[in-house]
Amino acid sequence: MSDQPHAVFETVGHGIARIRINRPDRLGAYTPRMCAEILEGIRRLRLDDSLRVLILTGTGRGFCTGGDVSPDAGFADDLTKQIGRAGTARRLPRHRRGAAQARQGSAVRSTESPSTGV
């Protein structure tokens, strides 16, 4: 697995933060490490009152093609933790700050209902 971060948090302008999915070689395929890095970025956003907007984007030609099923992706160790982490990420749109997505290329959309989680 690469030493490069799977998701990068950065400020890109006055009051604007960006989380950039950084796995162009895997078309942004999701990993437990990526989830932890995205949640850390969200935590940083929430702690900084000067940040008003979060942009979620990807690097390369794909945004997120779904879960990385390769043996080195890290799911064997963290699978049980992912369910709770997903709930944290789902609450982001209800946060008091704006959120935007900038997608390019392939992306997989969840079919779960936000109200029921099913």
Name 13's bridge partners.
16
- Mean pLDDT for 39-47 is 92
Please give the residue that has the higher pLDDT: either 29 or 84.
Answer: 29
Contacts of 60 (CB under 8 A, 6+ apart): 23, 24, 25, 27, 28, 105
Q: What does the block give as tokens for 82? A: 């992912």
What are 21's strand-pairing partners? 7, 58
Give 55-102 pLDDT, tens digit per residue.
889 998 888 888 887 877 877 665 555 555 555 555 555 556 655 555
Quick one: average pLDDT of 35-43?
Answer: 92
- Reading the block at residue 72, the tokens are 């080195």
pLDDT at 11 over 80: yes
Each residue's pLDDT tens digit, 84-94? 555 555 555 55
